[in-house]
Structure 1
C-alpha cells in the first residue's frame, strides 16, 4: 500500500507541474489576445489560448484538460461579469478544445501534419466545428448575465467563433511544428540565407500592413514561398506573423481597415486571416505529401536498379518475395520425371 502511494505521488508531481504550465501559457496568451479586444472586453478577433489548448491536448493527451480549465477560469474571473457567467464561459472554453481533440482523434489525426487529410481535419473539425461550443457558451452567458443585449448575440457570437477558430488555425500548427523540430544537419548556406530573407520580407510586409499602406495582399506570396520551400515549418510561423500584423492593423484602423465600420472591418480581417491560414496549411501539406511520394519513388527505383545490377552480374539468388514464400511454405521439392511413359 505504501509503495503504491509513493508511486502515485511520484507520477502526480510531474502531472501537476504540466497542468500548471499549461494554465500559465493559457493565461499569458489570453492577456496578449485581449490587447485587441473588440466586444465587451472579452471577445477578440484572434484568441491564441484556443490554439494552445488544442495543441496541449494533442501533444500531452486528454489528462491535461484541468490546465485548460484553470487557465480559462483565471482569465475570465478578472473580466467578470458574475461568477455563474465566468464558470459558464470557462466551461465553454474548456469543452471546445476537448471536443476538437475528440473529433480529431476519431479521424486518425497525426500531429506531424504531413498529410492533406490532417490539415482538412484541423480546419473543419478542430477549428470550425469544435469552436462552436465556446462561442455559443460564451455569448449565451453574456446575454444571460445582462451584459449583452439579445440583439448583439449573433454579432458577438460570430466574432467569438472566428476568433477562437483563427487561434486554432494559426497557433496550433506552430506548436505542433515546434514539438517535432530537430536541429538541421548539413544545411547549405544558401538555405540559411533564404530563410533569413523570408523572415526579413515578412517583417517588411508587417510594417507596411500596420502602417497606412493597404498592402495586405502581399502576405500571400510570402505564404506560398514559405510553404513550397520550407513546408509547414516555414508556412505555419509565417501565417501566424501575417495574421498578427493584420489584427494589429485592424485594431488600430490603419491600412486597409481605415475608414470602415466595425462590421466591415471584422469581415475583412477574418476573411484575410482565414484565407492566410488555409493557404499555408493546405499548400504546406500538399507539398509535404508530394515530397514524400517522390522519396518513395526514388527508393523503389533504387531497389529495382540494384536488383537489375545483380541479375546482370549473374547473381540469381531469389528475390525477397520468393524467399518469403519458401520460408512460409517450406522447401519445394521438384519431382524427377518418371523414366517410363
Structure 2
C-alpha cells in the first residue's frame, strides 16, 4: 500500500519534476543494465534485451503521458555514455521517445487495463506495444545511422531486426513486471511462500542446466513457466521469464552452452526466438488463467446471491435487494404523500 500512496503523490501537479527525474534515472539505469550484455551485428553494437523500452512504457502507463521528457533525458544520457553527441543523436532521441508514447496511446485506445487481468490486455501489450510501436524506434534509429554513414546500407536489415526485437523484448518482459509491482496491494499468504520458494530454488537449478548444457535442453524451462503462471499468475511467470532471459542472454553473449559454436547472426536469431516465445507464453498464459479465475469468482458470487434470494423466498420474507440496487434511491410512492403536497 505504501508504494501505491507514493505513486499517487507523484501524480499530483507538484510532483511533475520528481516524475521526470525519476523516469530519467530509471531509464538510464535500465539502459546501463541492457548495455552490460551486447552483441555485434554487422559491425553495430546491439542489445538482445533493451529494458529501457519497458521502463519507458511502464512509466507512461503509471504516471501518464506528461512524464515523456524523462524518457528523452534518459535516452540522451544513455547515448552520451556510448558516444559523443552529434546531429544523429536527435533522431535516436525522437525514436526512443515516440515509440513508448505511441504504445501508450494505442493501449489507451484499446481500453488497456494495467492489472493485465484479461486476455485482451495481454494481446494488446504484445501486438500493439511490443510488436507495433517499437517499429518506430528501430526504424528511426537505424535509419539515422544509415543516413549519417555510421552504418553501411547492406547492414540495415540485420541491425534493424536486432534493434526491433531488443526493444520488443524489453516491453514484453519488463513492462508487465513493473505494472504488477506498481499495482501490488498485499504480499502472498504465508502458505504460498513455501511453494514460491520451491519454485525459485528449482528455477535457479534447472534454468542454468537447460541453457548452459552443451545439448539442447531449452525446452525444460517451459514447465517452470507453466507452473509459475498456474500458481502465481503474471508476477510469477514474468519473474521466471526474466530470470531465464538474463541467463540465456549471458550464455549467448559469451557463446557458451546452447549458443556455442554459432555465428553472431545465428546466436541473435536463436536467442531472440527463445526469449520471444518464452515471454509470449508467460504473458498470455497468465492472462488467460487470471481471466478465468476472475470469471469463476464472479459466477460464484452470483450463485451465492441467488442462494440468499431463494432462502428468503422460501422463508416467506421479501428477498434482499442486490448491492447495486441498494445504492440507488427507490421510486417515490405518490400515494404516501399528504393531500395537496407537490
TM-score by length of structure 2 reads 0.88
Tell me how far apart the structure 1 counterparts of residues 76 and 321 of structure 2 sit (CA, whole Å).
63
Give the corresponding residue for 1:183. 186
CA-to-partner distance for each residue in 1:197-252, whole Å, 9 max, x for gaps? 11112211332245344422221111100101011121111111111111111111
Relative distance call for 1:208 and 1:136 in structure 2 (3 A) is: same
Q: Output aligned runs, 1:98-247, within 5 Å.
A: 98-184=101-187, 187-189=189-191, 191-209=192-210, 211-213=212-214, 214-247=216-249
Deviations 1:6-57 (A, max 9, x none): xxxxx76521122111111111111111122223564211000000000000
* Residues 210 and 252 (structure 1), Cα distance of their counterparts in 2 relative to 1, 3 Å cut: farther
**Number of the residue aligned with 1:88:** 91
Q: CA, structure 1 residues 86+295, in 2 after alignment: closer, same or farther (shift >3 Å)?
A: same
Asked if structure 2 preserves the Cα contact closer than 8 Å seen for 1:209 and 1:245, the reply is no
Partner of 2:33: 32
Structure 2 residue 16 is the aligned partner of structure 1 residue 45? no
Change (3 A) 1:104 1:322: closer
1:276 match: 278
> Cα gap change, 1:247/1:314 in structure 2, threshold over 3 Å: closer, same or farther?
same
Find the residue that maps to 2:299 and give its secondary structure: helix
Residues 135 and 161 in structure 1, CA contact (< 8 A), matched pair in contact too: yes
Query: Contact 1:173/1:236 (CA < 8 Å) preserved in 2?
Result: yes
1:260-319 deviation digits (Å, cap 9, x = unpaired):
112221111111111111111111011111111111111111111111111222214575
Distance 2:149 2:326 in 1: 76
Is 1:23–2:24 an aligned residue pair?
yes
Query: Which residue in 1 is equivalent to 2:7?
Result: none
Contact 1:81 1:145 in 2 (8 A): no
Deviation at 1:330, TM superposition (A): 4.3
- Partner SS for 2:35: helix
Residues 171 and 326 (structure 1), Cα distance of their counterparts in 2 relative to 1, 3 Å cut? closer
State the partner residue of 1:336: none
Larger of the two Rg values belongs to structure = 1
Contact 2:309-2:319 at 8 Å conserved across structures: no
Instruction: Please identify, of 92-101 and 71-80, the stretch whose mean Cα deviation from structure 2 is larger.
Output: 71-80
**CA 104–89 in structure 1, closer or farther in 2 if over 3 Å, else same:** same
What is the rounded CA distance, in whole Å, between the counterparts of 1:237 and 1:326 in structure 2?
Answer: 47
Distance 2:105 2:233 in 1: 26
Contact 2:210 2:221 in 1 (8 A): no
Match of 2:66 in 1: 63
CA contact (8 A) 2:211 2:218 kept: no
Give ranges in structure 1 of 5+ residues lacking alignment. 1-10, 334-341
* Cα displacement (A) at 1:81: 6.0
Give the SS at the match of 1:197. Answer: helix
